[in-house]
Amino acid sequence: MSKILIRAMVLPMTGGDEFFPQGELCIEDDVIVSVGKSGSAPAGFTPDRILELPNDVVMPGLINTHTHAAMTLLRGYADDLPLMPWLNEKVWPFEDKLTDEDIYWGTSLALCEMIRSGTTTMLDMYASMDRVAEAVLQAGTRAVLSRGLIGNGPNGDRALQESIELVRHYQGAGNGRVSVMFGPHAPYTCSGDYLRKVKAEADRFNAGIHIHVAETQDEIKILQEQYGKTPVQWLEDLGLFGGHVVAAHCVHLTPEDMEILARKHVCVAHNPESNMKLNSGTAPVTELRAKGVIVGLGTDGASSNNNLDMFGEMRTAAFLQKLYVNSTALPAYEVLEMATIGGAQTLGLENVGMLAPGFKADLISIDMDQPHFYPRFSIPAHLVYAAHAGDVRTMMVDGKFLMEERKLMSMDEEKVCQEAERRAKRIAGELAVK
Ligand SMILES: CSC[C@H]1O[C@@H](n2cnc3c(O)ncnc32)[C@H](O)[C@@H]1O
Ligand SMILES: [Zn+2]
């Protein structure tokens, strides 16, 4: 059994304004056993290791509730376009050329970036998800994985079968670090019959559903023409919203759509930077939260962002609501909740997102002894409005250190960068000579 004691400023994200300026956190194996002020370690707790981080804030790891990790390979390849031309003209032709190994290395690149920027858990949607799972298991992070399903194409049934294999092989893998959802891509790429089939399989395996919903005005128009309904109303009528559903984007919603999402307990993954870059619009996050909808934060893929930095995403999410609603909307602590405990709820993970006894030891430390963190009026405000990826010093997932003193412990970063560069350039080269 390993026992670790961390002394630091501790922001446990357990609600209210709980904060320990001289805090102590005790971990046994993969689980937190105590969190509190100096001297709060349980009597008889004899650590194998004591980590002194007096200038760091220790907080729960960040949870990215919507991404396509391997799209790091397209970073900078397809910029300055709206969604549909971006997908049709640039992204999908590139993705057609990806091999399983390309996806493994693209995902590994994403995981290096995520570890460096404080993300301990992601919800991913892509192809070759067995290779994605292997990358996650090797990196040591936590992930919910969904095989992206384009039901209207020739591979819809094969991809659904792959989803089933993914659940069978990886549900609960890596001491519970990996779990699986079904990932129908969107209501405009999957027919009603196909979505019903996916829902039946998700129910059979007691798994959740991860889907893009109401992202752009084009989508609203397509659904209106095809079904005479909004995407949310169409999905409700199909019966897709019975179990655990993560709806990514939800930018264009009617008041009735919001009522449906609230009533059906659909969780929303908000991707403010991707929505801005693709000119999709601003999601009504403040209204959704007021109606009781759980909203998590996501980066989307690195092609529409173009990074996977959840600190940047928190800042953008907050600023966008202030611009869109008013300056009191989405205060810093609430944004931190969206990126931690709210993210855990969005993904249906019950034991991460807070630093509390019995929770998994998924945490990060942020180096606060830097000019942009003085004076120290408000730690939550600094973390949301002033911090950036490079401020993360330490990461632990499931009780294991994945980064210490900004050095990655589980990944060969240089090799990952070289492989990603070589593979992405190969594909771009093939497309250029066509
Ligand atoms: C079939 S795997 C997932 C699929 O989704 C594509 N994708 C990436 N970002 C978005 C987005 O914002 N909206 C819709 N689809 C997106 C990705 O390129 C994969 O093909
Ligand atoms: Zn997406």
| Residues found in the chain | 434
Instruction: Judge whether 32 and 61 are in contact, CB under 8 Å.
Output: no
**Distance set, CA 411 to CA 101, 116, 170, 273 (Å):** 16, 11, 21, 27
Tens-binned pLDDT, residue by residue, of the chain (434 aa): 899 999 999 999 999 889 999 999 999 999 999 999 999 999 999 999 999 999 999 999 999 999 999 999 999 999 999 999 999 999 999 999 999 999 999 999 999 999 999 999 999 999 999 999 999 999 999 999 999 999 998 999 999 999 999 999 999 999 999 999 999 999 999 999 999 999 999 999 999 999 999 999 999 999 999 999 999 999 999 999 999 999 999 999 999 999 999 999 999 999 999 999 999 999 999 999 999 999 999 999 999 999 999 999 999 999 999 999 999 999 999 999 999 999 999 999 999 999 999 999 999 999 999 999 999 999 999 999 999 999 999 999 999 999 999 999 999 999 999 999 999 999 999 999 86
Q: Which listed ligand is nearest to 122 at the C-alpha? A: 2
Q: Is 95 annotated as a binding residue?
A: yes
Assess if residue 382 is contained within a domain: yes
What residue numbers bound the domain in which 361 lies? 3-60+353-408
Assess if residue 147 is contained within a domain: yes
Assess if residue 425 is contained within a domain: no
Q: Is 360 found in the same domain as 341?
A: no
Domain boundary among the residues 311, 330, 347 is at: 347
Assess if residue 207 is contained within a domain: yes
Q: Is 323 found in the same domain as 212?
A: yes
Q: Is 232 found in the same domain as 95?
A: yes
- For ligand 1, the distance from its centroid to the CA atom of residue 63, given in whole angstroms, is 19
**Whose Cα sits closest to atom 5 in ligand 1?**
185
What is the CATH classification number for the domain harbouring 47? Answer: 2.30.40.10
What distance in Å separates the CA atoms of residue 169 and residue 7, rounded to the nearest whole number?
39
Assess if residue 419 is contained within a domain: no
Q: Is 310 found in the same domain as 172?
A: yes
> C-alpha angle with apex 82: 80 to 87, nearest 5 degrees?
100
Assess if residue 428 is contained within a domain: no
In the chain, the amino acid numbered 13 is: M
Interhelix angle 129-139/100-116, rounded to 10 degrees, is: 40
* Number of other residues whose CB lies within 10 A of the CB of residue 255: 9
Assess if residue 423 is contained within a domain: no
Q: Is 252 annotated as a binding residue?
A: no
Q: Which listed ligand is nearest to 280 at the C-alpha? A: 1
Q: Residue 21: which H helix or E strand, with range? A: strand 20-28
Does residue 306 have a cis peptide bond before it, meaning omega lies within 30 degrees of 0? yes
Residues framing ligand 1 (Cβ under 6 A): 68, 83, 87, 91, 95, 125-127, 148, 150, 185-186, 212, 215, 274, 300-301, 304
Tokens of 421: 């560069």
CA proximity to 172, closest of 127, 133, 120: 133
DSSP 199-264: HHHHHHTT--EEEEES-SHHHHHHHHHHHSS-HHHHHHHHTTTSS-EEEEE--S--HHHHHHHHHT
Q: How many domains does the chain have?
A: 2
Query: What is the pLDDT at residue 17?
Result: 82
ipTM over 0.90: yes
Query: What is the pLDDT at residue 192?
Result: 98
Instruction: Judge whether 387 and 312 are in contact, CB under 8 Å.
Output: no
Q: Is 54 found in the same domain as 67?
A: no
What distance in Å separates the CA atoms of residue 291 and residue 47, rounded to the nearest whole number?
45
Assess if residue 318 is contained within a domain: yes
Work out which ligand 1 atom sits closest to the CA atom of 149.
1
Q: Is 285 found in the same domain as 181?
A: yes
In the chain, the amino acid numbered 429 is: G
* Number of other residues whose CB lies within 10 A of the CB of residue 54: 11
What is the CATH classification number for the domain harbouring 192? Answer: 3.20.20.140
Query: What is the pLDDT at residue 135?
Result: 99
What distance in Å separates the CA atoms of residue 228 and residue 189, rounded to the nearest whole number?
16
What distance in Å separates the CA atoms of residue 19 and residue 2, rounded to the nearest whole number?
26
Task: Give the three-state DSSP class for 167.
Answer: helix
Q: Is 215 annotated as a binding residue?
A: yes
Query: What is the pLDDT at residue 433?
Result: 85
Instruction: Judge whether 43 and 86 are in contact, CB under 8 Å.
Output: no
Q: Which listed ligand is nearest to 246 at the C-alpha? A: 2
Instruction: Judge whether 161 and 196 are in contact, CB under 8 Å.
Output: no
